[in-house]
A and B are shown apart, each in its own frame.
Chain A
């Protein structure tokens, strides 16, 4: 079994290396490019669907910018590499993008463990990293000046979740997390915040193996405990299986038990291809909702996305787009694509992205170099096959939760 995995990795590397060689040979023709390294998930075990969303958005933004003449006279060139969503993948891809492909900046990472494993590499070479979807607190508390996070982060996600639980008046809550860096980080923060902010809530958390394909034992156990709310952070495909089994056993969503999807997978392109009745009535957390008041650039991004990919962008599309926009803005202000200049410019970001004005906090701790006010939405899905557009928006960022708008399934 070990050798199976190791062989697959080797193959993936070989493919990635070949692809990178091609890319380098091709790119060598034009001297003046702004090389942006993209480390994301193109093959399992990571969530490939996340990697695809990130890649689509980045390619769109790069092409869009190049149409307008690129950045300070250089065309943006994305050097895309597969990190498989694994720790080793993240480290080697970062190392390779920097030393061989000589990129000026890295972005695209879709999972916490990948960002975490690239931290030291970024620091060693002084190359900035703009983190798309690494939620774990450790990414910020490490205090690495080159790493910037315009996406979701643990304390904000958990604050939003606990706010929601309080607004719902929940008494008994079960939290399900996967055994990844993001899962552990969220689990810890959730226990901490509930203890401090809502000691009256009876709470228990469980860590689930993200590779498992059957959660029935846990589902039956949850059933016996009769919680008001089940919060799940599991991402696809594990999250799909858990949701379906909770639904099949009549555990959640029901009129007695709310299912709160915190992992941000309800706007995945294949969500309704895997979830039927289990989706109806679920509360969902995301970093984008079509009812958001988007700045002009966000409206334009959405329009171009729908034109190009014939599908609505999801929250990951916006996160990835913002990461690249922030990089472009920094290069313009620095009038340079040198890593050191980029890092300095990134730190002073004050830029209106697709969903609002992005700045990076300088306070050391869980919000270091983080876009603190990153917007989020809590919404309810009220029908099978429902478009994101038609879901009920319950809460927009720090606004109040529209508890009355919630309907029992």
Chain B
């Protein structure tokens, strides 16, 4: 049986800097995997390559057995690997519902379907009150929730979340975490990049830890977090 995601020997260089250096991992159906690693360790770059925004210098990315390395970003998204950015990217010149309908239409939903689904997701994420508001009038946290909502207009095979919990209000953080937990229980697969240790420990049964572009550790969360190399990478050698 092939894994949902199979990444092999993924490499990306920026000039002389090797940002991602031979990264390999696999993710099975319905898995929720945390991505850890200090700043600059290459987490976002891995996600950029997986979502088609950067062309890998070497390596393979397979989604459900098909090679998606080199495919255009929009095709990858429609193939079921959807991505949320570290810095929020919602369409500020559109209303909340328009943002969602745009995403829904892009993923092939009809207008009615999309509207129904949008209301459902808005309700789940406690944004229904802002349905007609312009995205530019939302708070940073609300915008993040909106972008998150857009990713779920049509359930993806896997969602790649880059720091969804950073810089958002604790109540919203809770809403988001609950949503992830609930959908994961129902079989939704995730990669969750986060520096927020308590949440990662709480949500993710398994983590991959990157350092300087390479996989330092990969396994059950409690085990990985106890590895000396991981602690050193995170807290510095003098700890």
Direct contact of A and B (CB under 8 A): no
Chain A interfacial positions (CB closer than 8 Å to B): none
Chain B interfacial positions (CB closer than 8 Å to A): none
